[in-house]
């Protein structure tokens, strides 16, 4: 680096801006970048958080992919049995990306107490059931244990327990109607061992989890007959592709359905979050870039005489442009630093202290969920830095138009 170039950088170094007339504009530019990165971080973290939370809740009750009899209508209340003895159970040997497979069976029933009654779907699960999600949703009592012989334990939602005035330890009189309507309803006095609250009322008001052997006994099924398989995938973004592969691997008497198709309206709604996020990112980068361009133009005009002197001393245009670009990079870095500190700080506060609440009936969650991942944070910062820097190359072309003689006379 030549001597003139070094002096020029020192003259317009960021620490010298405080006493210049461009100081307010530079502060505005830094603030715009900081606010932009805060808005983008909050938008991405909350959008991904809400999408993942809704998807997890739907998966908890249905799995990611449902495999059932070809003639089953997927209502969950009336199922045609299939054999649990399948080549793909308990694992799909030829398909990657599948995390877990479990067997379930469901049957409609009525819970009848002395004063109230509610229609529900009793979902039968067995020893292979993954309780990961319900462990998180458990609010009272414990999870049922269906690893041994048949038992009468049941996991009920807090929503239904409140409506029926039931609590952990109570008996839950449950009546199962026969499809033929010629026999009396079957009555089972389930014992409530735990209460869950997923925050997804559409499911909380519908499902209670009991032993799959109870459903098999009521339906007069054999021990190897079940209602359907629930498949969980490792990456939900690939659920449609994996669903197609699963369909090809299963027999012609079986059908598959992904929850993206079963609950299409919900997922179409959450997909709109992506568009909103991209729109916010685009607007914030554009605003930050315009503010940096304005600041750089002011700096160039303010240092016109210096540019003329450097050119008169033989400095080429690109070297002079680099002086301003390097200092602009410093300003962008300052804005990104404070934006990340404030933005990530706000997100961590929301993640651990649940400050912002959301209406559950609209968003299916009680507070704004936050998903933080180093990958998208780094990508967002690098992308913002590069795009703003590219936008700053445009105003530096003015330097090539400056005449040394006229610049030194400029006041």
Average pLDDT of each block of 10 consecutive residues along the chain (411 residues)? 49 48 80 94 95 95 94 64 93 92 94 91 95 95 94 96 95 84 81 95 94 94 94 96 94 92 94 92 91 83 74 75 83 94 96 91 87 94 92 76 60 53
pLDDT given for residue 28 in this prediction: 87
Residue at which a domain ends, from 222, 251, 280: 251
Q: Which helix (H) or strand (E) holds 261?
A: helix 259-262
Closest by alpha carbon to 267, among 36, 121, 56, 37? 56
Residue span of the structural domain in which 24 resides: 3-56+267-409
Residues 32 and 166: their CA atoms lie apart, in Å, by 55
Residues 88 and 145 grouped into a single domain:
yes
Identify whether the C-beta of residue 95 lies closer than 8 Å to the C-beta of residue 245.
yes
Residue 361: what are its φ and ψ, rounded to 5°? -70, -15
pLDDT given for residue 73 in this prediction: 62
Could you tell me the two tokens for 22? Answer: 């461009």
Residue indicated by tokens 């003139």: 4
Using only the alpha carbons of the chain, give its radius of gyration.
32
Beta bridge partner(s), residue 367: 357
What letter would DSSP give residue 367?
Answer: B
Residue 300 lies in a domain: yes
Residue at which a domain ends, from 192, 219, 251: 251
Residues 9 and 105 grouped into a single domain:
no
Residues 48 and 76 grouped into a single domain:
no
Could you tell me the two tokens for 266? Answer: 């919900």
Residues 158 and 287 grouped into a single domain:
no
Could you tell me the two tokens for 57? Answer: 């809740």
Residue indicated by tokens 């006493």: 19
Residue 138 lies in a domain: yes
C-alpha 127: how far from chain center: 30
Beta bridge partner(s), residue 174: 111, 188
Residues 166 and 294 grouped into a single domain:
no
| Segments in 146-224 forming alpha helices (H) | 158-164, 201-204, 212-218
User: What pTM did the predictor assign?
Assistant: 0.84
Beta bridge partner(s), residue 121: 108, 207
Residues 172 and 225 grouped into a single domain:
yes
Give the number of other CB atoms < 10 A from CB of residue 182.
Answer: 6
Residues 309 and 349 grouped into a single domain:
yes
The conformational region for residue 18 under phi > 0 = left, psi -120 to 50 = alpha, else beta, is: alpha
Q: Which helix (H) or strand (E) holds 387?
A: helix 374-392
If one counts the domains in the chain, the total is: 2
C-alpha 368: how far from chain center: 11
Beta bridge partner(s), residue 156: 195
Residues 20 and 104 grouped into a single domain:
no
Could you tell me the two tokens for 72? Answer: 């089953």
pLDDT given for residue 27 in this prediction: 87
Residues 93 and 146 grouped into a single domain:
yes
Residues 44 and 75 grouped into a single domain:
no
DSSP 335-361: HHHHHHHHHHHHHHHHHHH--SB--HH
Residue 124: what are its φ and ψ, rounded to 5°? -85, 130
- Residue length, the chain? 411
Residues 148 and 207 grouped into a single domain:
yes
Residue 64 lies in a domain: no
Residues 198 and 280 grouped into a single domain:
no
DSSP 54-86: HHHHHHHHH-SEEEEETT--S-SSS---EES--
Residue 32: what are its φ and ψ, rounded to 5°? -65, -40
What letter would DSSP give residue 149?
Answer: S
Q: Which helix (H) or strand (E) holds 408?
A: helix 404-409
pLDDT given for residue 17 in this prediction: 47
Contacts of 91-99 with C-beta under 8 Å, sequence gap 24+, read 92/231, 92/246, 92/249, 94/249, 95/242, 95/245, 95/246, 95/249, 97/233, 97/234, 97/235, 97/238, 97/242, 98/231, 98/232, 98/233, 98/234, 98/242, 98/246, 99/232, 99/233, 99/234
- Up-side HSE of residue 281: CA atoms within 13 Å toward CB? 20
Contacts of 331 (CB under 8 A, 6+ apart): 14, 26, 29, 30, 33, 292, 295
């Amino acid at each position: 680096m030549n001597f003139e170039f070094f002096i020029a950088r020192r003259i317009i170094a960021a620490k010298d801006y405080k006493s210049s007339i461009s100081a307010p504009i530079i502060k505005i530019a830094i603030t715009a970048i900081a606010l932009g990165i805060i808005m983008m971080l909050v938008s991405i973290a909350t959008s991904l958080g809400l999408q993942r939370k809704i998807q997890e809740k739907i998966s908890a009750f249905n799995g990611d992919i449902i495999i059932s009899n070809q003639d089953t209508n997927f209502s969950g209340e009336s199922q045609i049995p299939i054999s649990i003895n399948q080549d793909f159970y308990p694992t799909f040997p030829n398909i990657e990306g599948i995390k877990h497979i479990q067997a379930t069976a469901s049957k409609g029933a009525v819970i009848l107490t002395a004063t109230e009654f509610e229609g529900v779907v009793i979902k039968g699960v067995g020893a292979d059931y993954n309780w990961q999600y319900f462990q998180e949703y458990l609010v009272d009592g414990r999870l049922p244990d269906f690893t041994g012989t048949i038992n009468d334990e049941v996991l009920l939602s807090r929503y239904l327990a409140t409506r029926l005035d039931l609590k952990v330890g109570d008996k839950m009189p449950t009546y199962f109607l026969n499809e033929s309507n010629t026999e009396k309803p079957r009555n089972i006095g389930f014992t409530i061992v735990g209460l869950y609250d997923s925050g997804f009322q559409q499911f909380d008001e519908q499902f209670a989890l009991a032993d799959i052997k109870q459903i098999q006994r009521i339906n007069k099924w054999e021990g190897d007959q079940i209602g359907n398989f629930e498949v969980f995938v490792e990456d939900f973004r690939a659920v449609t592709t994996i669903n197609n592969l699963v369909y090809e691997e299963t027999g012609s008497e079986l059908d598959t359905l992904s929850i993206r198709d079963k609950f299409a309206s919900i997922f179409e709604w959450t997909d709109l979050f992506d568009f909103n996020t991209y729109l916010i990112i685009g607007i914030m980068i554009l605003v930050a870039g315009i503010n940096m361009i304005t600041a750089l133009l002011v700096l160039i005009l303010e240092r016109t005489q210096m540019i003329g002197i450097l050119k008169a001393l033989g400095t080429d245009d690109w070297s002079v442009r680099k002086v301003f670009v390097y200092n602009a990079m410093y300003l962008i870095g300052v804005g990104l630093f404070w934006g990340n500190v404030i933005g990530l700080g706000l997100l961590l506060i929301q993640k651990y202290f649940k400050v912002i609440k959301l209406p559950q009936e609209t968003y299916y969650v009680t507070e704004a969920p936050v998903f933080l991942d180093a990958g998208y944070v780094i990508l967002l910062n690098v992308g913002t830095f590069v795009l703003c820097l590219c936008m700053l190359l445009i105003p530096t072309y003015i330097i090539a138009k400056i005449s040394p003689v006229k610049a030194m006379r400029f006041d």
